[in-house]
Structure 1
Amino acid sequence: MTNNGRLKPILDVNEKPKLALWITLSLQHLFAMFGATVLVPILTGLPASVALATSGIGTLTYIIITRGKIPAYLGSSFAFITPIIVLSTSHNVQTAMLGAFLASLVYGFVALFIAKFGVNWLLKLLPPVVVGPIIVVIGLGLSPTAVDMAMNKTVNGVKEYSLENFLVALSTLAVTIICCVAFKGFAKQIPVLLGIVFGYIIACIAGIVDFTPVIEAAWFKVPEFIIPFVTYKPEWNVAALAMVPIAIVTINEHIGHQMVLSEVVGKNFIKDPGLHRSILADGIAMMFASLLGGPPSTTYGENIGVLAITRIFSVFVLAGAAVFALALSFIGKFSALISTIPNPVMGGVSILLFGIIASSGLRMLVDEKVDLSINRNLVISSVIIVLGVGGAMLKFESINFELPAMALAAISGVLLNAFLPKEVK
């Protein structure tokens, strides 16, 4: 035990394990992040190999910028799934990457303001009564996608109900739930990965897995990066601004992660290396992802859970996980194997995962004791949820700009919180 009552870490932040142990622990940590990291590109239509590569590059960048003081792994952000799908469908994937790049700039500006003025202004701008409902919207907004993947199949370009697919999805969901509530230790922290693995086995038994891509794939293959001025000529598109408001949610999430991580590790990361530095590192990792065609990256709650259970706080282990993620992205057969995961398997996992996201928003409201009997709080949360879940959008055809529901809900919440008068119960 340490002086403050915490269990001593098995490996502290700057401790370096021996080679064999380093490989084992690094792979263990990668497995914890793997399921959610590859789920985002599968849902958004981006290459999973690129997501793995940008996840590894982003994590290494984060560790370098934070001076090796914060043990964190950066994976694909769920908050940006809907905007990426909307922009990729209504415009193209390059517009979505431009939006991610602009969102990363927000991180840079926020980091500068925090370094200059502290963090209180941001917490006032984004109180729990705003952030909680936005998180609810993110989870519920993704729920139709999860159900569609679980329940339907495409035949000749037309979606139709499939009982076989739905049974596979429900079986996958059941396994994932069992992992969440019945397992202990490290296994409890990787329900998504275990759910995908067992769901994949069930899908193989059901005969809905096509191994042709794996057989035909080369062992070594460079990920399908989408690089400006290399694979495409970047052009300004005002629609990309629609992704910028989502950054206010992920930045707030980042602050929460840093507070919890500080408590788990027993070091004040808010002060050293500083919140401004960690937010800047997160933003630069997101910028690299946008320049390579990967989904925006973010710090993961799963990462904190694994650290708390294993008490392996070494940044060398996290860096190792990043290196292995980067290496796996260049193995063609591995990337092809990921692409063969059937939709009902991912849909079954997503039903629980997206529900947990929505529930975490409700949990924030409860934990922060947001009083919904106060009309001001009730109005803010109600408007955010209905605009976001209802699919409201602000569209200006003259300039080809469309503000999707999630972004509109986030902006509305911030404005209502800023201008509605304070109310005393």
Structure 2
Amino acid sequence: MTAIVTVKLLEYAVDRDWPPVVGALLFVSLLTAGYYYNLTFVQLGLFDLGVNRVGMSHVGVSLAMALLALLAFLTAVVTGVALDRTGWSQTLLVKLRLVLAVVLTQLVLTAVAPLVTTPAQFLGWVVVCAISLGVGMPTTLSLTIDFVPVRDRGYVAAAVAALSFFVAAIYPLEWSIEEFSTVLVAAMIPGAVVLALLASGRLGIVETFAEQHREFGTGRFCRPDPVSTWSLTFWTLVVLMFGVFFIDSLGFLRLVETPTYIFTSWQSPDLRVRLFIAFAHVVGAGMAGVLYTNFERRWLFLWVFGLFSVTHLLYTFDIRAAQAGDPSLLLPLFYVLAVSFYTTLNFALWPDLSTPETIGTHSAIGLGMAGFLATFLSTGVALYFQALEVTLFDHLNVVNALALLLFVSLAVLLYVRRMIVLARTGEA
């Protein structure tokens, strides 16, 4: 595959043109840190904080998380549209300063989290966190046009997914809000200092970064014609990614409540199992990066829905067999591959559907609707199933039916589209 040996960043390194290489490394570091924070402190930490320390019910914490998702989505859309309409999405210094404000806000939130003891304090924490996430989401992803060559977006997105999940799978082994808060604060302070230096505008390399959007700005799928925000293509991909997040969250939320599975995979006390999961994420992300670079977006979604279909079928087969002992690591392996694939796709797709004039809006809608709103709705459905006392087997059957429906529907659409193209060209 020629794309594998023609990595643009490698060409820059061979030519000793270091600013693009340094910029890509900064982008990977920033996005990895942000995603790791969301994977651990926000997704796992808030639930633990609300239930175990504040004493709220599972339903109460889930509703608070739903509020976080909805408020973050609304804030993201407002921020993304504002970035594009003001032209700030093409102004690197403005984006760096916004990201710095987000990091400083999250630094304070992380530091005070162990002090939260009442439901009112918890709710206030969630509201501030949601607003900061909403501002940071489109702003951080819009830095793609300043730091990442179009040819390398699949590989850079894969690096972010691999590093984020690798670290999250290994640390923390045991959750303690006080300990983890201290570690994160210590890690965030140097990052905030580096961001402050970049955002000051006093470093000459920032001027070089600020000009790179002229070369890196137009995404892969916007050539030769840009993708409109209101086009059928854009919203079809939003719906497909929404389906991916919804299916993943709906299945994962139920598996988290089943110790038989969760304690032999993502939260296993056995370090060897967690290392297996961590390295599987790296392999899966690497595969996703290669496939993203070499295949069209529709085939990538087909891969993701197919993986989720196989994954949930394996879980339902395991439940039906009711085998003694720990479940096979084959189950989390397929889940890990599916998650790594769609995460890589999610980070690379929205910038590649954008130009410098639309990167803010497209990132906000894509990440917000696919990630936050899908998670919000799937949480509501999972709670409804729990109230109805739906069994794990039936719950996963519903999830798998949705995955198969989307897989088959997309396959049929691809076939019909191909037939229409052939008919129009007279080759049918």
| TM-score, with structure 2 as normaliser | 0.26
Which one has a larger percent strand, Structure 1 or Structure 2? 1
> Higher RCO, 1 or 2 (CA under 8 Å, sep at least 6)?
1
Structure in which a larger fraction of residues adopt helix: 2
Using structure 1 for the length normalisation, give the TM-score: 0.26
